[in-house]
Chains A and B, each alone.
Chain A
Amino acid sequence: MARKTDKKFRWRLKHLLGLRELDRKEIEFILDTAKAFEQVGRRPIKKTPPLRGRVVANMFFEDSTRTRNSFALAAGRLSADVIEFTKKSSSVSKGETLLDTARNLEAMGVDIVVVRHGAGGAPKFLSRNINACVVNAGDGYNEHPTQALLDVYTIRQMRGSLDGLKIGIVGDIAHSRVARSGIWAMSKLGAEVTLIGPPTLMPAQAHLLPVKISYSLDEVLEQLDVINMLRIQFERLGKNPFPSVREYSHFFGLTVERMKRAKPDIIVMHPGPINRGLELESEVADGPNSVILKQVANGLPVRMAVLFLVNQAAAAESKSK
């Protein structure tokens, strides 16, 4: 598929809150922009100047190593100054509110707020109340747009296009922001998405999403071109949605045994961190079909593209004012 960037297309969003509100063209534009940034990481001096003099605040209210570091590196490669702000939030804890925290950072001249928060909608809420650009780095179990972008970026890198690909997302769909963003991105780019997991891990009215649903990995595995194994997030699960880890692995774990029945070139993905031996056997995680580390590497150009584009949109907006 031709990947000529549409010359007339102009990016206009100063926030990246989720992929549900983006159309195919916008998603592809981010991916194409990311492609252009890929080579920066190969240079001896891994820096380029577009965000020089800009301040990016990494506001992480939930634990994260991968995403936080990835954003920090991406901002650094674009020559931005980065403030790190981490705080365990609890919805009931008193103290400074999210809005006050963000307004304080803004008062210090922050241009872009990258926010990870336990409450779905928190980035949207911020975007309505502050002037800085807001980039969602994962909110509750709403969306994790940059993760899904790097996932589809990786798939495109491997296969050229997502059109017609059969992609399975396996595991705890109900509590997964990666799944939600993935569903929007993959279906908009032309893939056929199947959600796979026990009914207790499917969200309400899942059949209204642009997906197929299967409760049996074995039934659909053979057809899949890509399989995205979600992490079982014990911290979000609540009262046992499946009887035991053993039983879950038995039905939904990607084992060496199961891999024998998959297409030989199936792409195995995982957003990390992996529960080895639970959703993914080590041999599969480290095997030839796994692109897990490629995903991590691709996080950088994708996040660079996102930071670059929202900043550009904000600059255009302030100029037009």
Chain B
Amino acid sequence: MNTDKSILIKNGRIIDPANKVDTQADLLVVGDKVAQIGSIKSDCENVIDAKGKIVTPGLIDIHVHFREPGDEEEETIASGSAAAVAGGFTSVVCMPNTKPAIDDQTSVEYVHRMGRQARKTFIYVMGAVTKGREGNELAEMGLMAQAGAIGFTDDGCGVQDAAMMLRALKYAGMLNVVFAQHCQDDSLAAGGVMNAGYNSTILGLPGIDPLAEEMMLWRDIQLVKKTKVRYHAQHISTAGSVELVREAKAEGLPVTCEVTPHHLLFTDDAIIDYDTNYKVNPPLRTIKDVEALKRAIREGLIDALVTDHAPHLQSEKELEFLAAPFGIAGLECALSLYIKALIEPGICDWPDLISLMTHRPARVIAADRGTIARGDRADITIIDPGAEYTIDSSRFQSKSRNCPYNGWRVKGRVEKTIVAGEIRYSAD
């Protein structure tokens, strides 16, 4: 073995959108860095033949739920991390809605430590905005930021009280962090389990009006005007939200947003059989909303493609629709889902897609990731874009199976995931 650990990736199509690279070349990793790109002659023993494959900066998912601490039977940081690298993700951002919530320095450190121990993907942490995510008192954001939290959110719900939100944004202003919000006005959404519309009416299920999302997003944008703090709207799901983000961006406000695969691939028609695998928050909307989100992606309005990986036990999902928890697990097939939703219908090309899964989400969290120029950290994903496979949730690294895509025939297999110069995942 070469003592100076190195990997040579031969003949891949290297796509590095931040550096406007899309070329056939070799890439040499030495230690934890990208050492060279081009036509490389090397005596490196560790050679990966990437002919016909795409070599990209490691994928980044800025919205996952790893359930630890508290719900380790659903997912642990170790199992979630293994799922992440199997999906090609070299960095993820864990949400703070664990039990207890990640709302202090010690718990931020705990998640980081468990992530390091898992030694799979790199883990970033968002801390809770308010203590216990209860919306009443500010959590110790400063100390959490010092411990490495890159942003704050009460994800799972939004900060309801406008004065509290303003105070939190102002305070966050001194910390150079991003403020992320699950936009949902609980007074409008109360009790809802699916989109409010024709389907909720004929199924007799309480609905969540699109306004619940849009009202909070609108409010927050007004608060961002005042505070100028970086603000990120999580998993937007409605045509109205797209318009609000468009206006905010046109005004030059520091507003970003993300979408999930399920809001691009399903409408609330999917719920017609009360299958709880489609119960997700924000809920699946209508075809008009799906089209608006896709158009927004084409126009570059969306900053990040995420998973909102939300694992749940089978026994929890095997309940009445009203009683089952919200969430879809999908880290391991996310890339293929985005290929299906965006590349196959011609909404995105490969550099666009990679960009939305690498350096653009990195920019949202102000992380120095998502590029593979010489000297960059060697976080690399190798993808076989043509490989077809069937999604089999029973073989997930994730501990949970709440995946409505099970059995889908999809394209684009993750072949290898390299994190900081180490191969952390290989297909087969």
Known: A117-B320, A119-B323, A120-B322. A177 touches B204 (CB 8 A): yes
> Interface of chain B, helix or strand or loop or mixed?
loop
Which of A124, A128, A204, A209 makes the CB contact (< 8 A) with B200? A204
Q: List the B side residues contacting A128 at CB < 8 Å.
A: 273
- The answer to whether B322 and A204 touch across the interface, beta carbons within 8 angstroms, is no
| A 153-181 to B, binary, CB cutoff 8 A, 1 in contact else 0 | 00000000000000000000000010010
Query: Is A140 part of the contact surface with B, judged by Cβ < 8 Å?
Result: yes
Q: List the A side residues contacting B110 at CB < 8 Å.
A: none
Q: List the B side residues contacting A203 at CB < 8 Å.
A: 200-201
- The answer to whether A142 and B203 touch across the interface, beta carbons within 8 angstroms, is yes
Known: A124-B274, A204-B200. A119 touches B321 (CB 8 A): yes
Q: List the A side residues contacting B387 at CB < 8 Å.
A: none
Known: A124-B273, A238-B191. A204 touches B321 (CB 8 A): no
Report Cα–Cα, A129/B273, bound state, in Å: 12
- The answer to whether B202 and A125 touch across the interface, beta carbons within 8 angstroms, is no
Most buried by B among A119, A141, A143: A119
> Which chain A residues in 80-119 approach chain B with CB under 8 Å?
91-92, 97-99, 117-119
**Nearest neighbor of A117 in chain B, beta-carbon distance:** B320
Query: Is B319 part of the contact surface with A, judged by Cβ < 8 Å?
Result: yes
Interface Cβ pair total, 8 Å cutoff: 71
Report Cα–Cα, A160/B204, bound state, in Å: 31
Q: List the A side residues contacting B201 at CB < 8 Å.
A: 203-206, 208-209
In the assembled complex, how far is the CB of residue B314 from the closest CB belonging to chain A, in whole angstroms?
11
- The answer to whether A122 and B320 touch across the interface, beta carbons within 8 angstroms, is yes
- The answer to whether B323 and A92 touch across the interface, beta carbons within 8 angstroms, is yes
Most buried by A among B201, B205, B319: B201
- By size class, the interface of chain B is 20 to 34
- The answer to whether B320 and A142 touch across the interface, beta carbons within 8 angstroms, is no
**Nearest neighbor of A98 in chain B, beta-carbon distance:** B320
Report Cα–Cα, A98/B318, bound state, in Å: 9
Which of B196, B204, B319 makes the CB contact (< 8 A) with A97? B319
Query: Is B408 part of the contact surface with A, judged by Cβ < 8 Å?
Result: no
Which of B196, B200, B274 makes the CB contact (< 8 A) with A125? B274
Which of B200, B204, B323 makes the CB contact (< 8 A) with A139? B204
| B 266-282 to A, binary, CB cutoff 8 A, 1 in contact else 0 | 00000001100000000
Report Cα–Cα, A204/B200, bound state, in Å: 7
Query: Is B42 part of the contact surface with A, judged by Cβ < 8 Å?
Result: no
Known: A204-B197, A204-B200, A204-B201. A91 touches B273 (CB 8 A): no
Report Cα–Cα, A180/B198, bound state, in Å: 12
Query: Is A261 part of the contact surface with B, judged by Cβ < 8 Å?
Result: no
- The answer to whether A205 and B197 touch across the interface, beta carbons within 8 angstroms, is yes
Q: List the A side residues contacting B190 at CB < 8 Å.
A: 238
In the assembled complex, how far is the CB of residue B214 from the closest CB belonging to chain A, in whole angstroms?
15
Query: Is A20 part of the contact surface with B, judged by Cβ < 8 Å?
Result: yes
In the assembled complex, how far is the CB of residue A241 from the closest CB belonging to chain B, in whole angstroms?
13
Report Cα–Cα, A141/B193, bound state, in Å: 13
Q: List the B side residues contacting A139 at CB < 8 Å.
A: 204
Known: A120-B204, A128-B273, A143-B204. A205 touches B198 (CB 8 A): yes
Which of A20, A120, A177, A206 makes the CB contact (< 8 A) with B321? A120
Known: A97-B319, A125-B320. A142 touches B204 (CB 8 A): yes
Q: List the B side residues contacting A277 at CB < 8 Å.
A: none
Query: Is B3 part of the contact surface with A, judged by Cβ < 8 Å?
Result: no
Report Cα–Cα, A198/B81, bound state, in Å: 52
- The answer to whether A99 and B318 touch across the interface, beta carbons within 8 angstroms, is yes
Query: Is B117 part of the contact surface with A, judged by Cβ < 8 Å?
Result: no
In the assembled complex, how far is the CB of residue B288 from the closest CB belonging to chain A, in whole angstroms?
13
Q: List the A side residues contacting B202 at CB < 8 Å.
A: 20, 180, 209
Report Cα–Cα, A124/B276, bound state, in Å: 12
> Which chain A residues in 8-56 approach chain B with CB under 8 Å?
20
| A 203-227 to B, binary, CB cutoff 8 A, 1 in contact else 0 | 1111011000000000000000000
- The answer to whether A121 and B205 touch across the interface, beta carbons within 8 angstroms, is yes
In the assembled complex, how far is the CB of residue A237 from the closest CB belonging to chain B, in whole angstroms?
12
**Nearest neighbor of A91 in chain B, beta-carbon distance:** B323
Q: List the B side residues contacting A20 at CB < 8 Å.
A: 202
- The answer to whether B196 and A121 touch across the interface, beta carbons within 8 angstroms, is no
Q: List the B side residues contacting A208 at CB < 8 Å.
A: 198, 201
Report Cα–Cα, A206/B201, bound state, in Å: 7
- The answer to whether B321 and A121 touch across the interface, beta carbons within 8 angstroms, is yes
| B 312-356 to A, binary, CB cutoff 8 A, 1 in contact else 0 | 000100111111000000000000000000000000000000000
Q: List the A side residues contacting B318 at CB < 8 Å.
A: 97, 99, 129
What are 15 A-B interface contacts by the 8 Å CB criterion?
A97-B318, A117-B320, A119-B320, A119-B322, A120-B205, A120-B321, A124-B273, A128-B273, A129-B318, A139-B204, A140-B322, A204-B196, A205-B198, A205-B201, A238-B190
**9 closest Cβ contacts across the A-B interface?**
A142-B204, A121-B274, A119-B320, A119-B322, A120-B204, A91-B323, A203-B201, A205-B198, A141-B204
**Besides the known contacts A118-B322, A119-B322, A238-B190, 9 further A-B residue pairs in the complex with CB atoms under 8 A apart:** A92-B323, A117-B320, A125-B319, A129-B318, A140-B204, A204-B198, A204-B200, A205-B197, A208-B201
Residues of B bordering A, CB below 8 Å: 190-191, 196-198, 200-205, 207, 209, 273-274, 315, 318-323
